[in-house]
Structure 1
Amino acid sequence: MVANFKVFKKIAPNGKVTVYLGKRDFVDHVSAVEPIDGVALIDSSYLTDRKLFGQVVCSFRYGREEDECMGLNFQKDLYLCSAQIYPPPEKREWNLSKLQERLLKKLGPNAFPFRFEIPPNAPASIMIQPGPEDQGEPCGVSYFVKTFIGDHETDRSHRRSTVSLAIRKVQFAPSKVGRQPCTVVRKDFMLSPGELELEVVLDKQVYHHGEKIAANICIRNNSNKVVKKIKAMVQQGVDVMLFQNGQYRSSIASIETDEGCPLQPGSSMQKVIYLLPELTNNKDRRGIALDGQLKRNDTNLASSTLMNPEQKDCFGIIVSYAVKVKLYLGALSGELTAELPFILMHPKPNSRPKLFHADSQADVETFRQESIDIDAM
């Protein structure tokens, strides 16, 4: 039996350096991030008196590219880790992965392995959806693995010998189920006896993308006011940690109903409202946070950001979700609002390790790089 495994490959414009990665999504387990294991292949005629360096770069764009003028730049590049790939170190401090062993055996003596460790407090890959008329790179956090020929790690790279391959730092839903979200809010009135009580219960704490959210609503009207309308919505909270006032919320799914209303004094009502947060209904809305996007792949609403409670210095973009229920009592009586946070993420994929047999075959996906005339250099 021949087993196939996928490899991502990208070549420098001059064709002298090639980078191979086994995957482009690296999972953040909150306490640690999966290491980036890859192999760099260098042309034999290019090895003399040259050094090859590798870096993991986190690019954070926090302003529109079209607004940049007079030297103002709304992008920061953070070099999270850096290492020399060639000449290789005398002693390797880590063990080769199975994929690296197979690639080194297949590519020959001019292939050199590398490994990068992303710090656990690095931000997740998130993109802010631009408006229909916006141009340029969208705001958000993106990652890429960069290899280049130079004299030292901080040397300026030349485009013809540089390889930049986009990757993503992702998180998956926790396997441990938390407590069922529940809240009770009450409102009394200055010149009226009794109070209005609203109880909201979600069917679970963690939802996967594409799942309906069931909000169980119970209203007990012990006041002399009348409930005229009910509105339930899912709100996405975005916190851009670079700014002090960089927080905003967007309603991504909502239902407004007057079924069972008006709810008269002394009455009670219980009903379930279903909400479905989807990108389909928010395609052209500026400011919606999306999961980081790789070329040729579709994306979805950004997953909730899971953080270590001990982590104080946050960077990047933090995304959260909440169900908000409003009772409308009329112009003079105001509103009663209840809010419940929840987690929206992708389920954790099957984590069974891949077995590479001696007759394994690689399914290589090559990314085009703009070609240049080598003789003209």
Structure 2
Amino acid sequence: GRKQYGKGFSFNIVWIQLCCAFRYGSEDLDVIGLTFRKDIWTHHIQLHPDCGYKPALTEMHETLLKKSGDQSYVFTFNIPTNMPCSVTLQPGLEDKGKPCGVDFEVKAYLARAAEDPDEKIDKKDTCRLIIRKVQFAPDNTGSGQKAEICKTFMMSDKPVLLEAFLDKDIYYHGEPIPVKVKVKNETSKVVKKIRISIDQTTDVILYSADKYTKTVLSEEFSETVEGNATFEKTLAITPLLANNKEKRGLALDGKLKEGDTNLASSTILQPGMDKEVLGILVSYKIKVNLLMSGGGDMTVELPLTLMHPRPIGTADEQTTPYYYYCCCCCCSCT
């Protein structure tokens, strides 16, 4: 954002601030004394008057300086690695105001005092910009998960064995997920259908310890397994936000504009990380369900990790298991 002031305006200090905040209610309720926003982390940089702050220039800085002129001030924020990623809880059709979730806001504002926490900053003296922090998957992923269940049924002394496999441990948003299913049916019962579903669990831990589970995909496959027979096949599924637009409370990657997001990425916890700082934890699991003749279905569950691939051309940091997208900006004071 950009605002212009005439010569001789009475403000002394120009600040830039990056704030990571957790929002869990409507702004409209603030008028009755309820606060539904908690700042997780805040960092300030003084841009004017000059206090010796000289960040290293990036290509983005240089491009913005050419466009905005000599009276611009560059800045860079380094986001700590233990900060949460941007998460938005999808609002309902009738919900108004900003959605619940974790967001990062860059704010430039004018102040009369150097560092006075009691000074009230007028909204007309601020510029705000929401940015999104995204976690990238490592290049080298491990082998996939495996789950199995062996179940016996009434009137049969032999079992049905169900096995499910994933070929890797991390999948990217929009990527088909092949699930290998193996069935060994030693009974006279018939497997009528195979149903595969994906559940998203959102754990809101910062203020209420609430958990919400929503099914983001459910597909039935018409494959049958007769009695005393075996079955082995790979069935592909693809969870997409496009098929879940009306599900209120579904966790999404931080939303910047209409349509510019996807299902939330899985939360990856670093060793020693405080879960409360993250605000919202997101996880997924795949369920493979056999629908049996005469009832008595059987199900196995596989944990699923959904993430973004590392952008092509970015440096491969061997010491870091995953990567972060950070924002560098430029502010013009004229």
Taking structure 2 as the reference length, the TM-score comes to 0.81
Contact 1:209 1:344 in 2 (8 A): yes
Question: How far 1:176 moved relative to its partner?
Answer: 1.0
Post-superposition Cα deviations, 1:88-137, rounded to whole Å, max 9, x if no partner, equal 224x4753434435655775664333332222221111111112222222
Counterpart position of 2:193? 229
Counterpart position of 1:116? 77
Post-superposition Cα deviations, 1:160-204, rounded to whole Å, max 9, x if no partner, equal 221111111111222112112222222245774232211101233
Give structure 1 stretches of 5+ with no counterpart: 1-9, 17-42, 354-364, 367-377
Counterpart code for 1:219: V
Counterpart code for 1:164: R
Counterpart position of 2:48? 86
> How do residues 334-373 of structure 1 correspond to structure 2 at under 5 angstroms?
334-351=296-313
Counterpart code for 2:105: F
Taking structure 1 as the reference length, the TM-score comes to 0.73
Counterpart code for 1:112: Y
Counterpart position of 1:253? 217
> How do residues 94-105 of structure 1 correspond to structure 2 at under 5 angstroms?
94-100=55-61
C-alpha distance in 2 between matches for 1:144 and 1:243: 21
CA RMSD of aligned residues (A): 3.0
Is 1:318 the counterpart of 2:281 in the alignment?
yes
**Residue of structure 2 aligned with 1:271, choices 203, 226, 233:** 233
C-alpha distance in 2 between matches for 1:259 and 1:102: 57
C-alpha distance in 2 between matches for 1:102 and 1:327: 57
Contact 1:80 1:118 in 2 (8 A): no
Moved over 6 A (4+): 66-69
Q: Match of 2:158, SS?
A: strand
Contact 1:53 1:85 in 2 (8 A): yes
Counterpart position of 1:293? 255
Question: How far 1:317 moved relative to its partner?
Answer: 1.7
Counterpart position of 1:25? none
Counterpart position of 1:137? 98
C-alpha distance in 1 between matches for 2:43 and 2:209: 30
Q: Match of 1:269, SS?
A: strand
Post-superposition Cα deviations, 1:323-361, rounded to whole Å, max 9, x if no partner, equal 111123366x633211112222222212358xxxxxxxx
Counterpart code for 1:234: I
Structure 1 residues 110 and 258: alpha-carbon distance in aligned structure 2, compared to 1, 3 A threshold: closer
Structure 1 residues 205 and 100: alpha-carbon distance in aligned structure 2, compared to 1, 3 A threshold: same
Structure 1 residues 243 and 212: alpha-carbon distance in aligned structure 2, compared to 1, 3 A threshold: same
